[in-house]
Structure 1
Amino acid sequence: MNFFHDNAGRFIFFESENPGTGLRRGQVGALHALAAHFCADADPAVISLPTGYGKTAVMAGACFTLRARRVLVIVPTAALRKQTMRSFSSLDVLIKHGTLQLEQERLPVVGVIDARVSRIDDWLAHENADVVIATPHAASPELPDVVAPPDGFFDLVLMDEGHHAPARTWEPFIRLLPQARHALFTATPYRLDGIKLPGRLVFYYPLKRAVEENAFGKVNFESVVLPQYASRDEIDDALVARAVQIFARDRDIGHEHRLLIRCGRVNASGPLAEKYVAAGLRVESVSSKLSPRAVEAIETRLREGELDGIVCVDMFGEGYDFPQLKVAVLHDAHRSLVPTLQFIGRFARTNGVRTGDATFIAAPQELESESDELYKSGLQWDLLIANVADARQQLAIQAEEHIRSFEEGGRPSADYDSVDARYLLLPQHIAAYVARQAPAGANDLEKIGPLEVVKRWESLERNANLYLVRDLDAPTWSRGRDIIDAKHDLFLVKYYPDTQILFITTTQRKERLYSSLVEQLVEGNVSPIPFARLRKVLNGLDQQEFFSIGLRNTSPVATTESYRIVAGSQADRGVRDTDGATYCQGHFFGRGEIDGESEIIGASSGGRVWSNGKTSLPELLDWMDTLHARISAAVVSIGRSGLDRLPFGEVLTDIPADTVAADWSRDTYRSNPTVIMGEDEQRRGCALDLSITNIQVNEDRQSLEFTIGDDLVSRRITFTPHRVPQYIAGPNQSPVLVESRDGRQSRVEEWLNDEPLVFYTAHLNTFVGNTLNRRAQSPGASIGNLQVVDWQDCEIQVEFELRDDRRRTVQRHLQDLLLAKPAVDFVIYDHRSGEAADFIVGKRGDDGRYDIDLFHCKGAGGAHASGERVDDVYELVGQAVKSVRYQVLDELIRHVKRRTLANRGGGISPFLRGTRDAAIEVLESLQPIDLRLTVYCVQPGLSAAALDGRLRTIMAAANDSVAAQQSSLIWMVSA
């Protein structure tokens, strides 16, 4: 201990232009800036030096300059912890460059924390150390089983890669060690999320100056040019071939270079390594799935030359020093500037023996990011990178100066003890549930979702609880955490034990908050009151007149009005007698009279009741009692109105056993939200490219399970209509997140509680939540057109085979038929997650209209054609009905554009005939009326001559549903 303090006079730093002596100009400036800052300021100091410029030497020098007694060094990874330990144990850079003169070769005592610090004694075990090196994963007091260091144990804290400082596991090293001085070292003192680093930026050394003083080697970019729509395998193979050439070139001129091959997904690293091995290179894949010992063994082999390179996602990342890494192959480039600069800086280091210029290899069509300007041929990379980075940093410095020109103002305060429930006003809006158990633990609630309960009231007489909650969050106009808005809301809960009805009124009407509340009070054992029962809030009202009514289309995929709102005086009179065949009640809002008094009332199929305005707590409780009495009354007397022409659905008691498919809500199709999938390497996509598959109704018919995801990531979800939340996911699954318009993310199962799926049966009845709507079938509905196909030499039980395209599967047989047709403009193979159909075919019709044919294939359930296997048609019925939405021209164009464009995940729907540009051009030239849609269900397992009554009924329902949307359905079957 006290090594740095006692030897401070032996550290004499000076600038030198001679290689191997003294320090670089930027290093000297950083040390002077640190010393000056801590003379008068206790705020954390931020030092910005370019990647590879020598931050570790400055960190070691700072320990002497600041006369530290015991130092804590925080690094982000185990690999960097090991590297930093070697540097501090030897101080070789400072000694070799003549800036540190030690007697008797005494060196500092270095402690390393490589396991969770769960006791104070674990810190005290390093009492004799001069410097302790740790990662947040092992030492962050934010972790539940980690204790903070004793007060005063460290007087200096150094953070390598300090741009992480605002992170949850890094920030406590500043907050919980207030007596220590804090220095944050980073190459990029700005963050993508806009959150500023704690403390002050006391020194910034421009990357351009470092380039000019030859602190970095030359960086060359090799562009691999391929056709615009090259496949993922074609791109990878071309990059491998170019990497082999570059590596051989460098080796032949005596350079001991190594390859770092970057891919975007852990699962892709293994197959990619095999491609390099097949090309003659010694390459292994490294990922977070390997143990630290296995990673260290691979690193050793790489350093000793037993390996030519490694394939990884982001292993050996920030701050890692390996000068022999001189050839980078980017199968997936970083999307943002910060990691790009760090990555490039690692290859530009000049401290290696027998090394030359660095080379970056990438395919331009793979690049669509903030950094894509860097990946262009013919550019002088060293200067271009410096200019881009310095321009970005100057903007951050200017912003910091503007912020500091403002002075602090006053702070708000709140006295919750003085809040009187008599003065509170709540909205006349109720979420109505049936609870199958009495609420418990109402007085123990501490949070409702993210909202903190700051005060509660209880009425035993009225069996009600009132909660005042607070939401602490940064305002939308600030990305920092130093300004917090405190927003307050109210929740009122009232329970009726005789009828098990639960009412909730709140000023913050979000489904996730309702779910959080009922999960805690009744363990989620509730369901919204079905509309068939809730509409009884009209019980006893005469002279009804409705200002607004909602008509919900009962077709699963209506391409006409999906939800029609009729508004105005006596809106219910606008309901026609024929509307009942297509629509059911969605909501109503109007007035009526009871006991000579007028009343305004509204209700919806989502289990909500409302009226106008806000009212006091006693008046709201009385209103709840009135509504409860009407809903639970044995005698029902609802006055006549135009609503009588519309069905209002049935209570879903048991899930139909023949539930075969599910589809997104209509709002989802309109908004198409962004989804984020995976953990270690996240992928962004859109919700409509996910599939809802493998629906299985459980034996008790009280719940069902389904899978949601794509070909790479999926999540198994359970839907239980009589519980809240209705959608839950099992543990230990890859996350699938949905991003809202304001950037907030939620798990897909949480999002589904706000945007519930539409499930439908083989007979095309639908249910959402706990309300079932039966579809009225048109008189005389038939099974549609049957087209008999010759399936000779086709393996009719096999739908597709991706590994052997010569196999005569159902899809291959159909593909040959489609490509043999004349006058077809384009054929798209769309068979993957989120498909419109397996094949999309476009052609001009004889009458001048444009025909879009969608083909859905299914392998037969037996070796021979039959007319009895209902499983042969279940999935096809669901696919056929869902795909009718693509007769809307805008929907079709959006789908074709999105699906036929190569993305970073490798998914693309290729054109088997025609081109993308030509197809989009012809579609965009059409008027909506020009489009004519035909859906084909391809099932060689069906015998046209032997269809039994069950199959005919199911096929007729599908045909009727498709025909109702002005489309056609054709079944391609066997004789």
Structure 2
Amino acid sequence: MKSGAALDFFHDNAQRFIFFESESPGVGLRRGQVGALHALAAHFCADSEPAVVSLPTGYGKTAVMAGACFTLRARRVLVIVPTAALRKQAMRSFRSLDVLVKHGTLQLEQGTLPEVAVIDARVTRTEDWLAHSNADVVVATPHAASPELPDVVAPPDGFFDLVLMDEGHHAPARTWEPFIRILPRARHALFTATPYRLDGVKLPGRLVFYYPLKRAVEENAFGKVNFESVAIPQYASREEIDDALVARAAQIFARDRAMGYEHRLLIRCGRIDASGPLAGKYVAAGLRVESVSSKLSPRAVEAIETRLREGELDGIVCVDMFGEGYDFPQLKVAVLHDAHRSLVPTLQFIGRFARTNGVRTGDATFIAAPQELESESDELYKSGLQWDLLIANVADARQQLALRAEEHLRSFEEGRRPSADYDSVDARYLLLPQHIAAYVAQQPPAGANELEKIGPLEVVKHWESHERNAHLYLARELDAPVWSRGRDIIDAKHDLFLVKYFPDTQILFITTTQRKERVYSSLVEQLVGGNVSTIPFARLRKVLNGLEQQEFFSIGLRNTSPVATTESYRIVAGSQADRGVRDTDGATYCQGHFFGRGEIDGESEVIGASSGGRVWSNGKTSLPDLLDWMDTLHARISAAVVSIGRSGLDRLPFGEGLTDIPLDTVAADWSRDTYRGNPTVIVGDDEHRRGCALDLSITGIRVNEDRQSLEFLVGDDLISRRITFTPHRIPQYFASPDQPSIFVESRDGRRSRVEEWLNDEPLVFYTAHLNTFVGNTLNRRAQSQGASIGRLEVLDWQGCEIRVEFDVRDDQRRTVQRHLRDHLLAEPDIDFVIYDHRSGEAADFIVGKRSGDSRYDIGLFHCKGAGGPRASGERVDDVYELVGQAVKSVRYQVLDEFVRHVKRRTQANRGGGLSPFLRGTRDEAIAVLESLQPIDLRLTVNCVQPGLSAAALDARLRMIMAAANDSVAAQQSSLSWMVSA
């Protein structure tokens, strides 16, 4: 409290300030000023959060700041300004209050004015603050008064009850923010023309009032601003450009003086070392000009400013001085030797010249060379534009985006109490990737506030927006680094998760900074009970809906053969990549992904999508922008009218949603990444039973009656784990805990249960007709016209028990395998025979021999016992499993892959298992194989089924056998059936 009586100037004179709106020049306040005062008063009636007021540059912020002191009945006010020049200007304004008195809104008794103090040196003692106890207003810059500086002390708590920040967009800065933090009981009002920053950092507090620049222009609050474009030769030097600008500036200045205007020149230069020589050019042109820079002392700058105001100078050359907030109405001619690169300072700079409160001043003029400009403000520097409206439209459009973003952020409230370490985390500063996992959920998210874990991560903070049906989670994972076995060193890793649900369409979008399938699975399992499925590509591709002028940089073509030895996944990249898709590709490939650009409503957009239910674009973005993007994508996906422009993608099928699992699902195979990486597996509880994933078998596939799930076994010859696959739930793969354990080990040593790993590396399932499905997308294979069933070889099965494939207890029993073994070993020209019958096999028997045409023939023999005592041509079960095995084994037509398999399978390992040579030796076989060129190897797949009668094959069997032959032939291999007569 101040000493003496009646010293609370603003509080005691509040009733003498009567503000009203008027359109008459010099009477009352402008509409935007009146609105700002009402907004501030209303805000502080119920809220203590800092208030942000946005008024156009030059519109009269000072009058609002002074008026707010009365409406808020302030007792002592701290005014923070960015520069010494503005400090002096603010001191004058508050000491005289002319901005209110001359407009008839403040009626004071004679000689009654506030006591205004100025801090022009650093405050290093509390006593320095207390020395201003009798002041009504204290004006300071952060450089002198910010407690963030090491030798500056903070004002006593409660010393100020109102803090006004001029050019408040600086508030997030290191030396500005402490004024809000160290005076928590004061009311804080931030005044700015641009409540957005180039770095995207949000201003603290709530935007309580924004007055559009276009509205201010319409009420004639600004003078006219003209742009003079100076023509410059294409290859002109820097000096020639400067000379042309100087000459044009001298002409404009002389013109204005001849019209009786007291105008001054403000010449902007980009470098301090260039300002002196540039001033010399203006002097040589007959103008009284000096340069001003931060290298001059405050006293020298003030002396130059005084000479400029008094008319002793015609202009000044400066580098970012006399900029924001500076009020000098005679500055009416601007010469831009170096333009601002961004919109914010451009608008502030222009605002200096658009003021209408000067005596003997006319329209403002900007002089620049447009071809020199490459900046965010480019569009402003073009001849023939109506600058006042153009500037207003540009500024207001950007501000509306900022306002919308603020509304989005306001809709998010903190959920359960966050961890104390994360209490200060603000969602407005978080950036998320433009990457979405898209699902269809059977129910809305529930229990979001109770979510404590997402996979291995602990939820430490949660925000919820009921308005946007969205949840944002911040989670962390604490774990020892892979190079430490102890727990004395812990790494902390943080990730973000955004979940948004659209109840009308049941679409669920998830964006996360950790894109692992098991993490997605954990999230949806808890929020919607796993009752979700990824959006099929046939629907997801509608993210292109409405995009014109499409051009694709990358296209993925997925081979529709269950096993592709040519190109399992072909990527076409480059400009207009879709033009690289051939008309014939549709018979072999379907769409896997696309990434490109298009135009919509005149705006360019980059977007990609994949058959795995993912949509993405470039880079990271703020929470409000990501939510808007999600809304846009949802509208396209769910639109009744679809307009997807024509492109090379039209030549490729894109799969269809899998509603029911096909009953004739006969086999499954690992993903292509599994074959590339071949990760380590630990089977059972024995740490020493380590092997390769490719040595495990996928067997026993059984589709359940409702066709919404299937079961299968994964394992080796000793241990198998039963796993369930459900295409319309997340996770799609799961197993009961009582099943034998099988773990997959990643390269960094982390282990996952095999079903968890399959959610990241999903299997390829295929049917007897060789249609395939991954997840919930089905791809139908287009069979070649007139496909044959392949070669039929009739064997004599006399004495063979055709219903028994093998007998591990009696090697001499005449089973199908024993019968075939004797047949193969009787062949004289075979180099080697490998018995590979065990989990992870390429075939039951592998045979190699040199052919007469310098090629090397590899035969893979798959055996199957007959389904009845006699040969028949009607039992489809006799061929189902063989078809799957045959098509899967075609991958061994690739020489390197075949050699790796032979080496791995014919060498004993700690986990057990060895595929023996029945003829030939390991060293001889490997030496022969390694001497071959890839083109030398020729593969024949042999399906051995004595239960098939060559003479009695019915149409159903022929169709299935023809599909298998067609698929094998498409991979440049041959298929042979060894059957009965």
Q: Please indicate the TM-score interval, normalised by the length of the shorter structure.
A: 0.5 to 0.7
User: CA 1:811 to 1:577, structure 2 compared with 1: closer, same or farther past 3 Å?
Assistant: same
The correspondence for 2:615, drawn from 597, 601, 609, is 609
* Distance in 1 (alpha carbons) for counterparts of 2:884 and 2:565: 16
- In the alignment, structure 1 residue 765 sits paired with structure 2 residue 775: no
The correspondence for 1:711, drawn from 706, 714, 717, is 717
Task: Give the Å deviation of 1:724.
Answer: 0.4
**Secondary structure, aligned partner of 1:860:** coil
Task: Give the Å deviation of 1:907.
Answer: 1.3
- In the alignment, structure 1 residue 971 sits paired with structure 2 residue 977: yes
The correspondence for 1:855, drawn from 861, 870, 873, is 861
Asked if 1 retains the 8 angstrom alpha-carbon contact of 2:561 and 2:588, the reply is yes
User: What are the Cα deviations for residues 764-804 of structure 1, in whole angstroms up to 9, with x where unaligned?
Assistant: 00000000001111111000111111111111111111211
Aligned AA (1:747): R
- In the alignment, structure 1 residue 673 sits paired with structure 2 residue 670: no
Aligned AA (1:934): T
- 1:594 is matched with 600
User: What are the Cα deviations for residues 561-589 of structure 1, in whole angstroms up to 9, with x where unaligned?
Assistant: 11111111111111110111111111111
Task: Give the Å deviation of 1:863.
Answer: 0.6
* Distance in 2 (alpha carbons) for counterparts of 1:852 and 1:881: 15
The correspondence for 1:642, drawn from 648, 660, 665, is 648
* Distance in 1 (alpha carbons) for counterparts of 2:573 and 2:803: 53
- 2:902 is matched with 896
Asked if 1 retains the 8 angstrom alpha-carbon contact of 2:688 and 2:910, the reply is no
**1:238-249 paired onto structure 2 within 5 Å:** none
**Secondary structure, aligned partner of 2:594:** strand
* Distance in 1 (alpha carbons) for counterparts of 2:759 and 2:852: 47
Aligned AA (1:882): K
- In the alignment, structure 1 residue 776 sits paired with structure 2 residue 782: yes
* Distance in 2 (alpha carbons) for counterparts of 1:627 and 1:777: 35
* Distance in 1 (alpha carbons) for counterparts of 2:911 and 2:685: 14
- In the alignment, structure 1 residue 745 sits paired with structure 2 residue 751: yes
Task: Give the Å deviation of 1:485.
Answer: 2.2
The correspondence for 1:920, drawn from 919, 926, 934, is 926
**1:834-873 paired onto structure 2 within 5 Å:** 834-873=840-879
Tell which deviates more after alignment, 594-603 or 719-728.
594-603
- In the alignment, structure 1 residue 796 sits paired with structure 2 residue 819: no
**1:72-221 paired onto structure 2 within 5 Å:** none
Asked if 1 retains the 8 angstrom alpha-carbon contact of 2:945 and 2:977, the reply is yes
- 1:508 is matched with 514
- State the aligned residue count: 563
**Secondary structure, aligned partner of 2:799:** coil
Aligned AA (2:495): D
**1:397-412 paired onto structure 2 within 5 Å:** none
- 2:732 is matched with 726
- In the alignment, structure 1 residue 487 sits paired with structure 2 residue 507: no
Task: Give the Å deviation of 1:415.
Answer: 3.6
- In the alignment, structure 1 residue 541 sits paired with structure 2 residue 541: no
The correspondence for 1:471, drawn from 477, 502, 519, is 477
- In the alignment, structure 1 residue 446 sits paired with structure 2 residue 452: yes
Normalized against structure 2, the TM-score is what? 0.57
Aligned AA (2:628): D
Aligned AA (2:817): Q
- In the alignment, structure 1 residue 559 sits paired with structure 2 residue 569: no
- 4+ runs of 1 displaced by more than 4 Å? none
Aligned AA (2:645): G
Tell which deviates more after alignment, 714-723 or 846-855.
846-855
Aligned AA (1:758): V
Aligned AA (1:471): E
- 1:787 is matched with 793
**Secondary structure, aligned partner of 2:820:** helix
Aligned AA (1:836): A
**Secondary structure, aligned partner of 2:662:** coil
**Secondary structure, aligned partner of 1:418:** coil
- 2:574 is matched with 568
Task: Give the Å deviation of 1:414.
Answer: 7.9
**Secondary structure, aligned partner of 1:619:** helix
* Distance in 1 (alpha carbons) for counterparts of 2:912 and 2:460: 50
- In the alignment, structure 1 residue 808 sits paired with structure 2 residue 814: yes
Identical counterparts, % of pairs? 88
Asked if 1 retains the 8 angstrom alpha-carbon contact of 2:542 and 2:642, the reply is yes
**Secondary structure, aligned partner of 2:567:** coil
User: What are the Cα deviations for residues 875-909 of structure 1, in whole angstroms up to 9, with x where unaligned?
Assistant: 00011111111111111111111111122343111
* Distance in 1 (alpha carbons) for counterparts of 2:574 and 2:875: 51
- 1:213 is matched with none
- 1:821 is matched with 827
**Secondary structure, aligned partner of 2:718:** coil
- In the alignment, structure 1 residue 424 sits paired with structure 2 residue 440: no
Larger CA Rg, structure 1 vs 2: 2
- In the alignment, structure 1 residue 882 sits paired with structure 2 residue 888: yes
Task: Give the Å deviation of 1:808.
Answer: 0.9
- 1:336 is matched with none
* Distance in 2 (alpha carbons) for counterparts of 1:819 and 1:611: 59
User: What are the Cα deviations for residues 103-156 of structure 1, in whole angstroms up to 9, with x where unaligned?
Assistant: xxxxxxxxxxxxxxxxxxxxxxxxxxxxxxxxxxxxxxxxxxxxxxxxxxxxxx
* Distance in 2 (alpha carbons) for counterparts of 1:643 and 1:472: 44
Aligned AA (1:638): I
Task: Give the Å deviation of 1:474.
Answer: 2.5
Task: Give the Å deviation of 1:681.
Answer: 5.7
**1:240-639 paired onto structure 2 within 5 Å:** 415-639=421-645
Asked if 1 retains the 8 angstrom alpha-carbon contact of 2:434 and 2:619, the reply is yes
Task: Give the Å deviation of 1:621.
Answer: 0.8
Task: Give the Å deviation of 1:476.
Answer: 4.2
* Distance in 1 (alpha carbons) for counterparts of 2:880 and 2:732: 25
* Distance in 1 (alpha carbons) for counterparts of 2:502 and 2:675: 39
User: What are the Cα deviations for residues 54-82 of structure 1, in whole angstroms up to 9, with x where unaligned?
Assistant: xxxxxxxxxxxxxxxxxxxxxxxxxxxxx
User: CA 1:686 to 1:477, structure 2 compared with 1: closer, same or farther past 3 Å?
Assistant: closer
Aligned AA (1:629): A
Runs (5+) with no aligned partner, structure 1: 1-412
Normalized against structure 1, the TM-score is what? 0.57
Task: Give the Å deviation of 1:615.
Answer: 1.4
User: What are the Cα deviations for residues 827-866 of structure 1, in whole angstroms up to 9, with x where unaligned?
Assistant: 1111111111111111100111111111111111001110
**Secondary structure, aligned partner of 1:776:** coil
Task: Give the Å deviation of 1:479.
Answer: 3.8
Task: Give the Å deviation of 1:682.
Answer: 4.7
Aligned AA (2:850): R
* Distance in 2 (alpha carbons) for counterparts of 1:508 and 1:864: 57
User: CA 1:414 to 1:442, structure 2 compared with 1: closer, same or farther past 3 Å?
Assistant: closer
Asked if 1 retains the 8 angstrom alpha-carbon contact of 2:440 and 2:506, the reply is yes
Aligned AA (1:815): R
* Distance in 1 (alpha carbons) for counterparts of 2:816 and 2:874: 20
* Distance in 2 (alpha carbons) for counterparts of 1:620 and 1:571: 28
* Distance in 2 (alpha carbons) for counterparts of 1:681 and 1:795: 40
* Distance in 2 (alpha carbons) for counterparts of 1:642 and 1:848: 41
* Distance in 2 (alpha carbons) for counterparts of 1:608 and 1:543: 23
Aligned AA (2:493): K
Aligned AA (2:529): E
**Secondary structure, aligned partner of 2:446:** coil
- In the alignment, structure 1 residue 909 sits paired with structure 2 residue 915: yes
Calculate the aligned-residue CA RMSD, in Å.
1.2
- In the alignment, structure 1 residue 961 sits paired with structure 2 residue 961: no
